[in-house]
Amino acid sequence: MKIALLAGDGIGPEIMEEAVRVLDALRLPQVTFWRGDVGGAAYRRHGHPLPEETLKMCRAADAVLFGAVGDPECDNLERHLRPEQAILGLRSELGLFANLRPAAAMPGLEDLSALRPEIARAIDLLIVRELNGDVYFGEKGTRTTPGGQREGYDVMAYSESEVRRIAHTAFRAAQGRKGRLCSVDKANVLETSQLWRDVVVEVSAEYPDVALSHMYVDNAAMQLVRNPGQFDVMVTGNLFGDILSDQASMCVGSIGLLASASLGEQQTEFGTKGLFEPIHGSAPDIAGQGAANPMAMILSAAMMLRHSFGREEDAARVEAAVAQALADGVKGADLGGTAGTKDIGIAVAERL
């Protein structure tokens, strides 16, 4: 099992250390860890946020475990040199178009949620976020209008093949869950979304066992807070999925809890090649303090074991150990507790 570890910036290295602690504690056979530079850290050492050798390492690996990138000191660099370009570059270079962001209440831990416990209890949803298209990857720039003003632009576009493949991923995910799929768009205003909706409806013909519904993204944001229990699988574009998943994290309890898998079509010896990362960023406001919650990172490692290595049992063990640690009151500051990053990593490893 060749695993590329890209810790990145801010809290990245702190949470990565705890994920590796947990993986080590599983005593998996035949694991090779490779470490690579990425983000602002890579820019400083190599002059680029995604150096060629890091990309090469990720191409050769079966899976990439990714911490976070982002550094306020790099915010004024030219865009192609900014840390965030590293994660965008990896997602597109590796063809990782399907981003799975599960959000589920943990039984007995409904009081972690920012919502009332009786509302939070029912949360068990999966956001399937398209990851290679949308306004993220369209033509962008700054130009001068005829009136002499500066104007920024980012083109939002989806081709039908891009929509079709993520729709298949989402329908298949729904088949493996409760059989309900809600496609989230803004088809009342955007042409991109109308095409999205048309293609999702076309693909639905192949999945008569899945109940498909559509929802506008503004309503979806509201419904996630009003009654998140209504959702099983949600499928949406790159930008809407980014926003809705951060929101879903607070419905569960904290952004420090939500993991993700980014998958493409490439198979490994044991499963699907992927990149696994928490949904949160480098949290510069708490970096270097040992205060970050590493659970999202640890749960991302569990998703890696499941999707890239076919080790469902180990994945479930890690998830159960995280839930047990929380049940035992091991909580970081993000959840109103006092446990530090290392305390949490050790507590999870002890409960495996």
Q: Give the residue numbers marked as catalytic.
A: 136, 186, 218, 242, 246
Tell me whether residue 26 or residue 131 sits nearer to Mn ion (CB atom): 131
Give the total of residues touching ligand IPM (CB under 6 A): 6
For ligand IPM, the binding residue among 279, 325, 335, 346 (CB under 6 A) is 279
Q: Which does 89 bind (CB under 5 to 8 A by kind): Mn ion, ligand IPM, ligand NAD, none?
A: none
For residue 85, CA distances in Å to 71, 75, 182 come to 12, 11, 30
CB 347 within 8 A of CB 39: no
Rounded CA gap, 285 and 251, in Å? Answer: 22
Min. distance of Cβ 246 from ligand NAD in angstroms? 7
CA distance 279 to 265: 21
Residue among 37 and 84 whose Cβ is closer to Mn ion? 84
The secondary structure of the chain in percent helix, strand, coil, rounded to multiples of 5, reads 45, 20, 35
277/27 Cα distance (integer angstroms): 21
Q: Does 57 bind ligand IPM (CB under 6 A)?
A: no
Nearest distance, CB of residue 279 and ligand IPM, angstroms = 5
Of the candidates 229, 235, 224, the one whose C-alpha atom is nearest the C-alpha of residue 181 is 235
User: 80-99 mask for ligand NAD (x: CB under 6 A)?
Assistant: ----x--x------------
For ligand NAD, the closer of residues 228 and 332 by Cβ is 332
157: tokens are 């576009």
Contact between 18 and ligand NAD per CB under 6 A: no
17 vs 246 by CB, closer to ligand IPM: 246
Strands 211-216 and 180-185: parallel
3-state secondary structure of 225: helix
- Binding span for ligand NAD by CB under 6 A among 114-122, 149-157, 192-200, 280-288: 280-288
Radius of gyration of the chain (CA): 20
Annotated binding site: 91, 101, 129, 218, 242, 246, 281-293
Interface with ligand NAD (CB under 6 A): 11, 68-70, 84, 87, 255-256, 277, 280-286, 292-293, 296, 332, 334
Annotated binding site for substrate: 91, 101, 129, 218
